């Protein structure tokens, strides 16, 4: 989370400051706006990171559940085959 927020803050500050200078604003005014842009972009990146991590955890949980279900199905199939082998006359 900290890395995402720091990265967002750095990008937000850089983009807003450069755009302010390119637009012809005074460096101090651009600096103030860049500070606000840093906070906004940092919070946005933090929110995106939270959503991304939640989705990755959910995907991994679903894969784990599918693997467990496949193992249970294979075990049941093995039991059924052993039962069929035991009941078949030779």
Q: How confident is the model at residue 82 (pLDDT cuts 50, 70, 90)?
A: confident
| Distance from C-alpha of 27 to C-alpha of 23, rounded to nearest angstrom | 11
| Token pair in block for residue 65 | 């559940």
pLDDT of res. 90: 60
The range of the structural domain enclosing residue 55 comes to 2-87
The total number of structural domains in the chain stands at 1
| Token pair in block for residue 8 | 């967002």
Per the CB < 8 A criterion, the answer to whether 20 and 29 are in contact is yes
Model pLDDT for residues 18-72, shown as the tens digit of each residue: 999 999 999 999 999 999 999 999 999 999 999 999 999 999 999 999 999 999 9
């Amino acid at each position: 989370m900290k890395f995402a927020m720091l990265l967002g803050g750095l990008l937000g500050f850089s983009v807003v400051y450069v755009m302010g200078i390119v637009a012809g604003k005074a460096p101090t005014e651009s600096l103030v706006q860049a500070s606000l842009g840093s906070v906004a972009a940092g919070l946005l990146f933090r929110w995106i990171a939270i959503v991304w991590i939640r989705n990755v955890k959910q995907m991994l949980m679903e894969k784990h559940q599918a693997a467990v279900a496949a193992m249970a199905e294979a075990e049941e199939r093995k039991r059924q085959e052993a039962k069929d082998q035991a009941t078949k006359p030779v």
